[in-house]
Structure 1
């Protein structure tokens, strides 16, 4: 498999290396790629950016188990909010793992390589996403991991289970909905109660407790994703008459990213044996948007599937016909990137330069 080894200038070489790896990963045809497993398993916590089916059987409005979602995925619509791979699907293959099953379908031997607990509309705060009714907040995702851990311990014994869990990757990507489906929603009181910094501080305090809880359950290798350029997603662009990114929204989420970086530094210093890395999604997205053509993208400001201005006023509807040239789009729908962007960001996280992921990349983290 070709690898994007350095992800640093010159840009032309960066893009060529990354695109070679994107094509290589996508060429695995959505299956286990027979590479050596770098870690025993990966456990995934997050929201719709990496949900792969946990909301399918919930009484929830946040679902993606219908066509054209999954149009480029071998199994069709599975609950992934993408035309194909999510970022963690590509990371799993880069780690030599099979695609990780959702918690709703994981039992017995299916948990051996990890479990995906992510849930669309979920947030760090339990109240986040209530407009969508059913969702699995981060606190509940951790409780679901405890159930999985009990299964693993029952099978392996306490000592072997603890040793194995300590070698696994824990990928956490939370916070988007705490803004999109909480702070920025008019029917939530949050924006009237807290300014941007105060809210970011509340989120960071809760997030620190949650990550520490995973550490106390045996996790030692953490990859924590920051928030992207949320002011540039089609849903937000559709609200702008100028069609340009919302600096207000981008500035709103900056304190959260800065708080998470500080939190991870503190956890690295104070939790023995733990390594937390920060996946700087905002910088990745900035790189992709600023140099879109170098990465093969020609459409950066509207969804491939959606309705209204920037195809972001109403997100992708059942059986809607999406754009035919999906590889050229940065955004799949009103909120989520295309498979091509997901794979590209996965390569940046896996083998990326410290501009994108630090203090280690995922490749280095896996080898600890």
Structure 2
């Protein structure tokens, strides 16, 4: 958020003043997706953090949403009026989480915890649309879009990274060749999905295929609203 404040100052210097900058920003589309690392690198990393013993999954989701609200209100006060909030994907299906549990498939307990966050995020969108008459927010149901997508879009390798990953970071080791089946792999490394899935998710976020892909509308309709 500090970097965004710097950006606003630069815009203000370019177009005249901060009032003009805020007016300009009110016409911009803000895309926000935060929360994944709070689960992957905090709640489900008990050897480094005590959050999973301190909070139940529902309490943790509530705490994250409160912090999310604080950040959104800062953006709103800076001039943001059109915001797209992306829910979290099925984090229990990423290779690093599967490797920590005795299961060859998705970890249901993690996906259930993430769904608590997503449900609260959707409710936050509804609440802020009522509370902030000048703002328009939408929620993108990433988990629902992605959960059944891989097989339908031609992906075949779901729980193995495409590149050789570091045992300490889970990221691709620099200089190593990626897999030759990268058009079939769901994940590049232990965390990040491939371009195919990202493009598919973006397409359904822009123009929803199913009614529950986006709420209350999709990006294509949000950008047309005055």
Whether the TM-score (by the shorter chain) exceeds 0.5 is yes
Give the equivalent residue in structure 2 for 1:145. 4
Is it true that 1:162 corresponds to 2:22 in the alignment?
A: yes
Measured after TM superposition, the shift of residue 240 of structure 1 is: 3.2
Runs of 4+ that moved beyond 3 A: 311-315
Give the equivalent residue in structure 2 for 1:89. none
- Calculate the TM-score normalised by the size of structure 1: 0.58
Q: Distance in 2 between matches of 1:244 and 1:254?
A: 18
Q: Distance in 2 between matches of 1:252 and 1:242?
A: 17
Measured after TM superposition, the shift of residue 351 of structure 1 is: 1.2
Q: Distance in 1 between matches of 2:51 and 2:170?
A: 24
CA displacement, residues 124-160 of structure 1 (integer Å, 9 cap, x when unaligned)? xxxxxxxxxxxxxxxxxx1211111111111112443
After TM superposition, the structure 1 = structure 2 runs for residues 114-129 of structure 1, keeping only pairs within 5 Å, are none
Tell me which of 192, 196, 204 is aligned to 1:340. Answer: 196
SS at match of 1:367: coil
Which blocks of at least 5 consecutive residues in structure 1 are unaligned? 1-141
Tell me which of 187, 208, 221 is aligned to 2:48. Answer: 187
More helix by percentage = 2
Is it true that 1:301 corresponds to 2:162 in the alignment?
A: no
Give the equivalent residue in structure 2 for 1:114. none
Q: Greater CA deviation, 315-324 or 253-262?
A: 315-324
Q: Distance in 1 between matches of 2:168 and 2:180?
A: 17
Q: Distance in 2 between matches of 1:251 and 1:331?
A: 21
Measured after TM superposition, the shift of residue 363 of structure 1 is: 1.2
Would the alpha carbon gap of residues 207 and 314 (structure 1) be closer, same or farther in structure 2, given more than 3 Å must change?
closer
Number of positions where the alignment pairs a residue of Structure 1 with one of Structure 2: 222
- Calculate the TM-score normalised by the size of structure 2: 0.92
Give the equivalent residue in structure 1 for 2:181. 325
Give the equivalent residue in structure 2 for 1:223. 84
CA RMSD of aligned residues (A): 1.9
SS at match of 1:222: strand
Is 1:221–1:275's contact at 8 Å kept on the other side of the alignment? yes
Which blocks of at least 5 consecutive residues in structure 2 are unaligned? none
Is 2:165–2:189's contact at 8 Å kept on the other side of the alignment? no
SS at match of 2:65: helix
Is 1:302–1:312's contact at 8 Å kept on the other side of the alignment? no
Q: Distance in 2 between matches of 1:312 and 1:323?
A: 20
Measured after TM superposition, the shift of residue 217 of structure 1 is: 0.6
